[in-house]
Structure 1
Amino acid sequence: MSDSGLGDDFPAAPVTFDPAVPLHHQVYLHLRGEIADGLWQGRDDFPGEREVAEQLGVSVITSRAALDRLASDGWIERRRGRRPRILYRLESAGDPAPEAGPSMFEFGPFRPYAYRVLLAETRIAPAEACAAFGVPAGERLWQCMRLRSVDGRSHSVTHNVQHPGVGERHTADQLEQEPMVQLLTRAGYTIHRLRRRVGILHSPALVTEALGLTIAEQVLVTTFSLHHPDDSVLEWVRIYLHPDQSTPEETMDFATGKWSSAEHM
């Protein structure tokens, strides 16, 4: 644990490092987070490798590796004999908001995604999916994982789990082209209810490879279950969102208690 008081305007705060994750990666994530949050906006005192090393209690080799990666990723500019210069431009209040990607979960005719099937077979399912279907852990269920892209940019990976009698009916062409909800409704299934929750997880290797991430990076994950009219589970879904993507603005109407999205679906 060390103090992160980088710069006079930053109060010292403890930084706890995970011994299982390379230090240079954690320093990189820490500094990148401060830059992205605008904490160095309009300043010219971003620390060099020795200052980072001293303030975070790491070696100069570690801080150098973190700063080199920030530079290679376009967050800062490094020149010999000069302090690093911030390249990241924070959107100002007068600028248009960054374009948001589509909703993580698509329902109905709106389909902005291009799909690439990563896996489609019956195999041992995640324990949470087994629990949703009311079967013992270790049960074999049909599973499909697809990389979803928008305008050529990786957006998310979906992990759909269904009973083999349902999932094995989908053709390869359908999985490459259509939303899963559309496949299910066209097959005659009625989706009566959807339950979802949001969390943060480390992604499995198949997901990190598809999204171009490292195994140490955590991503926003939404987990859904789709239910028949009798409330039994039709499908269990987990969606891993690329950390560079944003979702549409949602609005809650206090009069009705309902949420709506700015995106037309």
Structure 2
Amino acid sequence: MLKAKISNLLRHLRLLYLTDKARFYFHWLRYRKLNQSFRQAHPEVKLPPDYLLYESFQLHYPLYYEDGQETAQELVELFRQHIELKDKKILDWGCGPGRIIRHMPALIGNGCEFYGTDYNQKSIAWCSQHLKGITFNTNTLAAQLPYPDNFFDLIYGYSIFTHLSETLHYEWYAELIRVLKPQGILFLTTQGNNYIAKLTDTERESFNQGQLVVRGKVKEGHRTYSAFHPEPFMRHLFRKEEIVEHLTAPPHANGWLPHDFWIVKKK
């Protein structure tokens, strides 16, 4: 809770960007030797520029690549419970510098087509240059995608709703449903009950009343912009489609807080 109060104070004083930039340099120094060792041991692995990696995940090369691969494998196994992954069009919404999507073609194959989209132009430029066999495009923060109606069989967004306002939750959800085929699968992650301990008293009261909690006063979509999702809010958001599965996991022993997983099928 103390961290939450400090974070909100920094937001109010418009100092959060500066603090986050200092944190980036701290992590750059902290993981410098480890990252150099990984690069030397794996010269074949294409790695994005450090700040793109930090902004979307962590400035930790092994975790970016190896954890990205493990996450992709877990998602594939989960998706296969709900859809046959053959000759499908698959979109990574908010792909960043390709942490997950880069592994999907090798894990799935089977005639599937892979797409990635993100509002960060530098991330998309890097992905387009270095990650082959995937079609990338830049979107804007506004809920508009350059795809026709009913285009994708599967869309996933990992830690994207966690950085959007309430208005954009509704607008982006509608846009994702628009480009998803009937009976298509939509997978999204949220910061659910595991994150209650991180909230201030005022935020917790709103959360417990089923209201989305948003920490703004920074650029929407940035890592420092954060949203917390009570279950009633998400069920209301998804009310017109079929909620196939809502998965939660307890906090890890090391203090890491898992996101909630939501799987929705378009009617």
Same fold by TM-score greater than 0.5 = no
Task: Please tell me whether Structure 1 or Structure 2 has the larger radius of gyration of its CA atoms.
Answer: 1
More helix by share: 2
Q: Please report the TM-score for the alignment, with normalisation by the length of structure 1.
A: 0.24
**Larger RCO: 1 or 2 (CA < 8 Å, sep 6+):** 2
Q: Higher strand fraction: Structure 1 or Structure 2?
A: 1
| TM-score, normalised by the number of residues in structure 2 | 0.24
